[in-house]
A and B are shown apart, each in its own frame.
Chain A
């Protein structure tokens, strides 16, 4: 599951959670596939963000899972550069990697 801005949503992506408007009214249920009508509805109802399934069209077209795992691990290492002297941060870095990798299917 991934959180994206409604403005970045594209037809073909699948909703991972129910979408509600600013008043909390249900706009569309989880599991629906986004199409042009839904994109228009999101704009009309001022929906700002959506949770989408990570195995949606966009993600399927992206790099392979292995490549993404490698990239995610490298990103974490880059982010933690300079903290190597701290054992606490070393443990957090490894936990952050495990977390990032667990999100990649």
Chain B
């Protein structure tokens, strides 16, 4: 259910971004794969053929598949083999993350926003989400990793397409030691969460992912997949506590007590959650190669 406030924010985001020229569209490769996976008759070979057209993407997918992130004992040498072992959705997730890194690398100009640190934070959040999901017995760990990886994509949109406004945001963060979302609200009247969700809506990505991106700072607003949003909310705070990467501010937001309670954790779980996230990050650093 949309409140008047959220409609106003979405209208502000629309006004903000519709003036921006050259916003990226969903890469056609990803669009094609999405369409193919929706068709139950699609075979692994057919999807593999689409991916294999792009040698760079093929190499990246195989690199991830063969990394300690999955930890298979034997080397996987073809995309079709990877699809058979990991399934369509996992391969789609790898392609999604890889292509999004590519989309935002093109045309990026140097700014004060440290993208290497940003992507480290994002990979860390994905890793923390996976750890939380595993402890909760959540079935779709891959989707959690991707949601964590992409939860802050709105910051990259702002850095690349609204650089002057975003520079103002970063200045305000520094001058008043604010959380970046607080500074964005003051400067833009909307946050990276709103802008990221808007982009993913335009790209027709899943409603669960869109809502998670929009609500990761306020999971109580999530109606479609509240658990998903709660996990990413807590994962974001956990990776900040680990000090792996940086999303643009140096303070840590407070965990929503309702989300914490809903996930069923105890504060005595923090030591394990942090240690396991640290280990999971080591496996996920292969994704840092995509950011180059």
Residues of A within 8 A of B (CB): 3, 5, 17, 22-24, 46, 48-49, 51, 75-76, 78-83, 86-89, 91-93, 95-96, 98-100
Smallest CB–CB gap between A100 and chain B, Å?
Answer: 7
- A91–B67 alpha-carbon span in the complex (Å): 34
Q: Give the interface size bracket for B toward A.
A: 35 or more
Contact for B270 among A48, A81, A82, A92, CB less than 8 A: A92
Contact between B278 and A87, CB atoms less than 8 A apart: no
Q: Is B188 an interface position by the 8 A CB rule?
A: no
Query: Once bound together, how far apart are the Cα atoms of A26 and B63, in whole Å?
Result: 12
Taking CB atoms, residues of chain B closer than 8 Å to A79 are 240-241, 243, 250-252
CA separation between A51 and B283, bound complex, in Å? 12
Residue numbers in B under 8 Å from A96 (CB-CB):
241-243, 270, 274
A10 CA to B11 CA in the complex, in Å?
50
User: Which of B27-35, B142-150, B254-262 makes up part of the contact surface?
Assistant: B254-262
Within 8 A of A (CB), among B21-74: 59-60, 62-63, 66-67
Q: Which residues from chain B contact A46 at a C-beta distance below 8 Å? A: 289, 292
Contacts of B242 in A (CB 8 A): 96, 99
Please provide the 4 A-B residue pairs with the shortest distance between their CB atoms, ordered closest to farther: A91-B267, A95-B270, A96-B241, A99-B274
Asked if B285 is at the interface of the complex by the 8 Å CB criterion, the answer is: yes
Is B136 an interface residue when CB atoms closer than 8 A count as contact? Answer: no
